[in-house]
Structure formats: C-alpha cells, structure tokens
Amino acid sequence: MKKVVLLIVASAICFSCKTSEQLSAPTPPAPPATVKPVSPVNNLNSSPKLVVGIVVDQMRYDYLNRFYNRFSDGGFKRLMTQGFNFKNNHYNYVPTYTGPGHASIYTGTTPKYHGIISNYWYDKTIDKSVYCASDNTVKSVGIDHVKEQMSPRRLMSTTFGDENRLFTEFKGKTIGIAIKDRGAILPAGHTANAAYWFHGKDLGKWISSTYYMNQLPDWVKNFNAKPIAESYLKPWTTLYDIDTYVESGDDLNAFERGFEGKDTATFPYDLNVLKDKNEGFDILKATAYGNALTADFAIAALDGENLGGDAITDVLTVSFSSTDYVGHNFGVNSKEIQDTYLRLDKDLERLFAALDAKVGKGQYTVFLTADHGAVNVPSYLKSVNIPAGYVDDETHNNTLKAFLKAKFNTDNLIKNISNNQIFLNHEVIKNNNLNLGEIQEAIVDEMIAYKDIDKAYTAKTMAAAPFAGGMELLLQNGYNQKKSGDVLYVYSPAYITYSKTGSTHGSGLSYDTHVPLLFYGKGVKQGSSFTKTAITDIAPTISALLGTSFPNRAIGEPLVEVLK
C-alpha cells in the first residue's frame, strides 16, 4: 500500500514540475508570414538612377587649374567644388592612347589584361595591322561604309556597364556616345544597348553598327534629320575677348598647324568656307563645336533612351573627342585649346542642367576623367630652353636592321616596328637556327645607345621581371603577352615622333599620365585628395557604389574616400 501511495505522490510531483516548466517557458514565435521577394534592382535605394561617365580626350590635369578662373559655376567648377577632386590621378601603364585609355577607365584594368594595346597595332597572328574597334563581321548602320564596321569584340574584359547589365537582368541600359567610334564603343562594353559615333565627311550624321541594332532608332533619325551639324559650320571665334586669354600663348606662332585653306593658325576660322578643303563635316571634329554637337546628342539621348527614367540604374558614357583633335592640331598652349575648354565648360553646364531636369538633382552620379594627357609642343619647349625634340625613327630603324644583318648574317629578322615595339620574324629565326632570346638582347644593347632612346626591354623581361614601380612597371602593365612585340623601347622625355606643330601623347611621363578625376552626385562625398590614384580605380569605385560585381579583369581598388 505504501508503494502505491509513493507512486501516486511521485507522479503528482512530476506532473507539477512539467506544468511549471511549460508555464514559465517563452511562447514559441508564430510562423513567419509569407513575404514576396523583392528584386535587388528595385531595392537599392542608395543607387543612382543614372551613372554618367565623361571622358575628355587629351585633357591634362593642369587645365583644371589653368582655366579655373574662367570657368562658370555650372560646369567643371560644379564638379570640383560640390564633388570630389582626386588631384594626383595617373595612368598606370604605357601607351597612353585613346583606345587603351577608354578601355582601362571602364574595365578597371590595363592593356596587359584587356588587350587594347593601342589604337592600331600589328597583329602577329595574321601579319597585318588591326584597329581597336574594327569588326568585319558586322555592318554599319546609318551609312553603308566598310570603314564604319565597328564593335567591342577586341576588348578582353567586361566593363562596369556590362556588370550592371548582368546585375539588373538587363533591365538597366548602357549607351555610349562620342565623335570617335572607339570613344563610344569601348566604354559601352559588350552588352550595351547602343553605341553611337559621328561620321563627318559629306554626311555629318550619328551612326552605329549591327552589333547593336539593325536600324537607327527614331530619336536618332530625327536628330540626324535636323540641321544641327550644319548649324556649327560657322565662324569659330573666341568665346570671350581673345586679349583676355592670358592663360595661353600668342595666337600667331610657329608651333601650330591650323587648317587647309587658311594661311595662319589664328582666330577666327570660317568653317563654312574651310570645310571643302578639310574633309567636309570632319572639320567640326577639330573645333570646339564638335564638343557642342556631342553634348546636343547626349542630351537628346536622355529622352530618346529614357535614361534614368526609373529606379534601375542606367549607364551613359560620353566622350568629348574634339579636345584631342584641337590639341593635336594647335598644341596644349594655344588660344584654340583654351577656347575649346571654355566652351566645353558651357557644354558641361548644359548637360548637367539637362540631367537635373530629366533625371533629378541628387539622383545621378557623374565622374569625369581623361584618356591621356599631352606633351607641350617640343619645338616650343626647345625655344624656351627645355630639353625636347623629335625622333628620327626611319634612321633608327634602318640602323637597327643593318646591325642585325651584320651580327646574325640573316635578312628580314624584323617583321614590324610600331607603337615603340619591335616584332621579330620568328619563322626566319627558327629556319636559321638562331636564338630568339639572344636576338632580343642584342637589340636592347644596340638601341640603348641610340640618341633619344631612353630605355629598352625584351619581352622576356616584361613577362617575368617583378617590377615594383617606375617606367618599367608602366611598360609591364601595357605589355600583353599574346599581342605585344619582342622588344619595347621608350623615347627620352619630351621627344616624340610627330610633326613640329601640334601636340601628341603616348608616353609614361607625367604630362601624359596625369589626368583629372572628378566625382559628383549621388553617393559621392564632397572633398579633395592628393593621394595618388590610378585610372584603373574608377571602375571598381562605380561597381562598389552600385553594389555589382567588379569587371571580370579589374585590378583597381574602390576609392573609399569618395563614397558616402
């Protein structure tokens, strides 16, 4: 009987404990309500509606300071005072040309990886020169012309625009615009909705290729139907009194080329009169009005393509190419280059006002940079006792060929010399049982003794040596193992292969590498920095801002100073 009572008591105690535990335990949470997943492209409230990448072709950094007091508050100054100014931004490779520059800005990498090693280069696999944007598998649109068969297929990397297209499931648009085809095509990348460039000559219209479309959209047809290009065939006079252009040299000098049909390279220029001797509408490319025409077309594209019209980020790339043409023609110290930048400032002001109106203030992000700088005209530098000059490439090349024949008792060892690179004939070398490395080293030893040659390196050195800085690292970053030559060489500072009038570029020296980098708009801090930055940092910075993957061959780093 006692055992039964004890069992009953024990059971009661156990039941009481369990009841107490249940009463004191927290109430289990209710099952979560079914939540409809939100597409990430509609959930990035911090992302701008539109990213506008602006490249000013051949813009040296010092132009920002040199012409600052003449700029309006709404153009360059708006970016400089309300945005972020990286004052020590440089190209981190050689050569500093338009094609490689535009490719590097938007891919975040260098020619070593993206493969655009120049504007034109010798293709050793097919034994002929190729153009960075040419593609004979496509046709031109807007004109039937074999020279306008263009696409980005030679670009061996994605751009940040490509990554944005992938991220948004192709809902975000990418549009590229420039007078130069390569300035429109390479920035826009592989997945762009369109790239448009200007065909001058007797047409004066904006065109594209079948890589993007089979016919021009109505808004482009309507733009081309208007006499907009024709309206710029007028006298090019200075925007302000030429006597106030004290930031540049004399208008009449011996260092400028000018236009056919005009005896002096001096203002004014009657473009309607001069056009027939200067390739028709192509004359606009080499004047400030080419930039105005580009701004007109870019503003039309905002409506025509509905850019920034919703919460999904679009990308617009705009390259102002005429600054390069003017620089090549007149030089970096000319009245013409100053007027071109003062007028470009007004065109930027128009573009930013259109962005404010159509996309909304604070709803878009802009960056502005350049594809390269330029050297001051060497003949001018010599006149003021600065070491400079012109390289006689023909004499160098003939001397080198004679040296190789004498040393190796063999003809035709060199197949091509271009872009400061020497391509050897590997078949001849093999057939004559010669040593490739020995020939490369012999060329370096020979060329380094030539007047006006500052450095020379073999392909083997470029591919293997662990350079940490200096010109050697710049050369290495521009060396592409599949495409570059057997020997690379560098001219002495301010020595160029060019006419004795006008400016050019391409070196790894500061006058070619130091370019502006301005950020402005949504997600951008206000400020400035003298920290050294590289052109390859731009694409990762924009990708970080958008929250997308970096371009697939990017080597740059996001500029955290600029991001909010």
Q: Which residues are catalytic?
A: 98
3-state secondary structure of 98: helix
Contact between 320 and 344 under an 8 Å Cβ cutoff? The reply is yes
User: What is the enclosing helix (H) or strand (E) of 105?
Assistant: helix 98-107
Contact between 379 and 501 under an 8 Å Cβ cutoff? The reply is yes
Burial (0-12, 13-18, 19+ Cβ within 10 Å), 7: exposed
User: How many Å is the Cα radius of gyration of the chain?
Assistant: 30
In this structure, the chain runs to a length of 564
- Which contacts (CB < 8 Å, 24+ apart) does range 21-27 have? none
CA distances, 155 to each of 132, 468, 505 (Å): 8, 26, 22
- Joined tokens for residue 531: 């920290």
- Say which residue the tokens 């012309």 belong to: 145
Cis (ω within 30 of 0) for the bond into 95?
yes
**Torsion (CA) 378, 383, 385, 390 in degrees, nearest 10:** 30
3-state helix, strand, coil in the chain (%, to 5): 40, 15, 45
Contact between 289 and 236 under an 8 Å Cβ cutoff? The reply is yes
Determine the Cα–Cα distance for residues 363 and 368; give it in Å rounded to an integer: 17
Count of other CB atoms within 10 angstroms of residue 276 = 11
Determine the Cα–Cα distance for residues 521 and 519; give it in Å rounded to an integer: 7
Determine the Cα–Cα distance for residues 375 and 327; give it in Å rounded to an integer: 10
User: No. of H helices and E strands in the chain?
Assistant: 21, 22
Residue 275 is given by DSSP the state G
Determine the Cα–Cα distance for residues 268 and 282; give it in Å rounded to an integer: 18
CA distances, 42 to each of 153, 267, 309 (Å): 31, 53, 13
DSSP per-residue letters across 547-563 = TPPPPTT------TTTB
Determine the Cα–Cα distance for residues 278 and 286; give it in Å rounded to an integer: 10
Cis (ω within 30 of 0) for the bond into 28?
no
CA distances, 303 to each of 154, 357, 442 (Å): 31, 11, 60
- Which contacts (CB < 8 Å, 24+ apart) does range 144-147 have? 145/199
